[in-house]
């Protein structure tokens, strides 16, 4: 199958999970979604990742984001593993883990990279907006755990740049200065949108305080 690209509609599916059957688009509703794959249950890096996701539940909720994990292990194995995650990571897993034993979702989202592993899913992340559009993706090897602060940072950037005519610079985090998009040239509109003013480092590089702060 073709690789999913930014701007594509996230494929819908119905699949079993740790909390029962998930109809993906229906489950997502009007929320943002972070769909992330992990190679296997009862593995050390995945245990820390799912624990970190649970620990950040308040941060995801504050941003209107629903996390959902996936691996090719069956639902009963997920449910056996969750107590280990809760115990070792001092949290409570409160999001679904898709049980993709038939690899239906893995194939839709191109999560098995045969040159890395013919059986396990790689660590991919899909950022999906309320219109079910794929807005960003990240892919890591099985050996490298994800930085969940970065996942929140990407969401913050996407939501900010959707609502204001700005872009976020390198290493930006919520509260830092942002960049006025080059396409915005009308001086009256700039003054209206950015009442705190801006600094023109170059004609194409105009820096302004984050407008929603």
Q: Three-class SS of residue 50?
A: helix
Query: In whole angstroms, how far apart are CA 36 and each of 53, 67, 151?
Result: 10, 8, 10
Looking up tokens 């059986």, which residue turns up? 119
Our answer to whether residue 46 is catalytic in this structure is yes
Cα end-to-end distance, the chain, whole Å: 43
Query: In whole angstroms, how far apart are CA 8 and each of 113, 127, 143, 208?
Result: 20, 11, 28, 31
**What distance in Å separates the CA atoms of residue 10 and residue 203, rounded to the nearest whole number?**
37
Tell me how far apart the 2 most distant CA atoms of the chain are, in Å: 60
Q: Which residues contact 205 (CB under 8 A, 6 or more apart)?
A: 179
Q: Which helix (H) or strand (E) holds 185?
A: none
Query: In whole angstroms, how far apart are CA 84 and each of 40, 52, 103, 129, 160?
Result: 14, 13, 24, 31, 36
- Which among 46, 68, 98, 128 is annotated as catalytic? 46
**Which of the residues are catalytic?**
46
């Amino acid at each position: 199958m073709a690789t999913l690209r930014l701007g594509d509609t996230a494929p819908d599916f119905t699949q079993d999970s740790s909390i029962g059957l998930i109809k993906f688009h229906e489950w997502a509703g009007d929320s943002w979604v972070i769909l992330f794959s992990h190679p296997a249950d009862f593995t050390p890096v995945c245990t820390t990742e799912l624990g970190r996701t649970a620990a950040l539940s308040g941060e995801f909720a504050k941003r209107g984001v629903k996390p959902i994990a996936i691996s090719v292990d069956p639902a009963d194995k997920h449910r056996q593993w969750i107590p280990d995650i809760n115990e070792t990571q001092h949290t409570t897993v409160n999001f679904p883990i898709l049980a993709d034993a038939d690899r239906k979702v893995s194939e839709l989202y191109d999560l098995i990279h045969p040159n890395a592993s013919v059986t396990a899913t790689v660590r991919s992340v899909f950022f999906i907006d309320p219109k079910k559009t794929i807005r960003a993706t990240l892919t890591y090897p099985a050996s490298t755990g994800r930085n969940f602060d970065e996942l929140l940072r990407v969401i913050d950037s996407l939501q900010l740049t959707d609502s204001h005519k700005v872009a976020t610079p390198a290493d930006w985090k919520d509260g830092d200065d942002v960049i006025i998009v080059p396409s915005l040239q009308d001086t009256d509109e700039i003054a209206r949108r950015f009442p705190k003013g801006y600094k023109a480092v170059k004609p194409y590089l105009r820096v302004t305080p984050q407008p929603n702060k």
